Structure 1
Amino acid sequence: MITGAGSGIGRASAQAFAREGAKLALLDQNEAAAEATAVETGGIVVPVDVTDAAEVEKALERAAESMGGIDGLLNSAGILSSKSFGSIDPEHWRKVLDVNLTGTFLVCQAALPYLLKAPGAAIVNIASGQALLPSLTGSAYAASKAGVMMFTKCLAMELAPNIRANTICPGATATPMTDSEIPPEDTVRRQKLADAYAMKRLCVPEDIANGILYLMSNEASAVTGIALAVDNGRTYH
């Protein structure tokens, strides 16, 4: 089950899982975008606002019913904020944390009864390289993603040995979310961003999807509670 499946990392992950033969439930607030992913992957579309607890519970019930259970959960839904601390109002702060952190909590909690019934179940939550090493702006985003990282470590402790829980921390990735902050045509700013990374490039969604695929797979059966940086060498975590 994938939240934020309509674009970016969520969509690339759905494609990667589909190639491995997985049944998929594609959750997204943007139903049309999720439908486009479904055409590529064969997954079922479940529209949901991850900040609404009642919607989340119904969405998880529908997803579990359609797939005959849930054995893997990827929380990819999120929003970006690069506002400086001095310019953040309380409403903006709450919105960023509601989507990125509380949304992840609500989905994990609603999924728990289904995951407990599935041998080898796994959770992967998407945090950010900003959770490991913040930039000069974006404190709300960094705080929300650091919260996701620590929340996932807590899940790993509480849910073992039945369920593994790991975080993936992407570097700047060429997704619609990133494009909304730094448009592709702004090559100067994008190159300046890339120059902060050892590999001198931005990630692409497939880079992150490959890491997620590993963490969700049986090959990672001894891996839980980690924060895996896939960031072209920005944090050296």
Structure 2
Amino acid sequence: MTDRNQRFAGRRIYLTGAASGIGRATAQILAQGGAKLALVDVNEAGLKIVASETGGVVLPTDLRDGAAIDRSVAQAAEQLGGLDGVVNCAGVPSGGLIDQLSPDEWDRVVAINLTAPYRVCHAAVPLMRGEANGSIVNVASGVGLLPTAAGATAYAASKGGLIAFTRALAKDVGPSIRANCVCPGVAETPMTERILHSQDEASAAAFVAQYTLNRVADAAEIAEGIAFLLSHEASFVTGSTLSVDGGRVFH
């Protein structure tokens, strides 16, 4: 069995959304396991904090800019000495019923949640071919499997698309690279703060009651699922969707 404290030794991983939330928790777990990290986010100040915790390389990147993604991936491979792992964790929420959802808002959500992972993979896969233990993990959402409420069309479509993209991607990149998807349930992160803490006590309780474990996740619990799929322990897992959701969606 691989020593957990060294299970990512020698790995070189490109991680988006690294400045906070699930991305930050993932960076911490991977660094503890010995990985070298390229930390990617639009929030440069947040990246510098995470870099101080993990020793990662800071790559501020606007994921709506395809050319910036290409440069970022190339810089990561240069500074880390190659790439054998990618985690597409960056994401943005969206709300509003369909007749209130502007085309600009739709485009923004799809650009970051779906098109950016495509651009990252498009740039990274040629660099990963031939590497041992190549693995891509895309972070979607349980909402992509089963929407929780009205007003989530853009977000659910982007995350559902990411799930389908990952399944197809596994065919494209195998057998040398694995590709899998994590679908988190609700976790304590900056993105969910408004949902979790702006409701009255009864509404908050009803929201959490959708989850069989009857609680909100810590970001590290989601990050552990991501780390598993990146690791050698998941060496025979590809094209899979792992729900780390406290039992809201059974499939």
Counterpart in the other structure of 2:26: 13
SS at match of 1:24: strand
- After TM superposition, the structure 1 stretch with the greater mean CA deviation from structure 2, 6-15 or 174-183, is 174-183
In the TM superposition, 1:1-237 aligns within 5 A as 1-137=14-150, 138-183=152-197, 187-237=201-251
Normalised TM-score (structure 1): 0.96
User: What count of residue pairs does the alignment treat as equivalent?
Assistant: 237
Other structure's SS at 1:193 match:
helix
Q: 1:184 deviation in Å?
A: 6.5
Provide the C-alpha distance between the structure 2 equivalents of 1:7 and 1:189, rounded to a whole number of angstroms.
26
CA distance in 2, matches of 1:184, 1:14: 28
Query: Which 10-residue stretch deviates more, 187-196 or 154-163?
Result: 187-196
Distance 1:83 1:203 in 2: 25
Partner AA of 1:232 in structure 2 = G
Gaps of 5+ in 1: none
> TM-score when scaled to structure 2?
0.91
SS in 1 for 2:197: coil
Deviation at 1:188, TM superposition (A): 4.3
Structure 2: which 5+ residue stretches go unaligned? 1-13
Shift of 1:187: 4.6
Identity of aligned residues (%): 45
CA distance in 2, matches of 1:103, 1:166: 16
Q: CA RMSD in A?
A: 1.3
Provide the C-alpha distance between the structure 2 equivalents of 1:203 and 1:189, rounded to a whole number of angstroms.
18
Residue 206 of structure 1 aligns to a residue whose secondary structure is: helix
Q: Aligned partners of 2:206 and 2:186: how far apart in 1?
A: 12
Q: 1:79, 1:218 → 2: CA distance? A: 30
Equivalent residues of 1:182, 1:189 under 8 A apart: no
What's the offset of the Cα at 1:203?
1.4
For residue 36 of structure 2, give the secondary structure of its aligned residue in structure 1: coil
Inter-partner Cα distance in structure 2 for 1:180 and 1:117 = 44
Tell me by how many angstroms 1:106 deviates.
Answer: 0.7
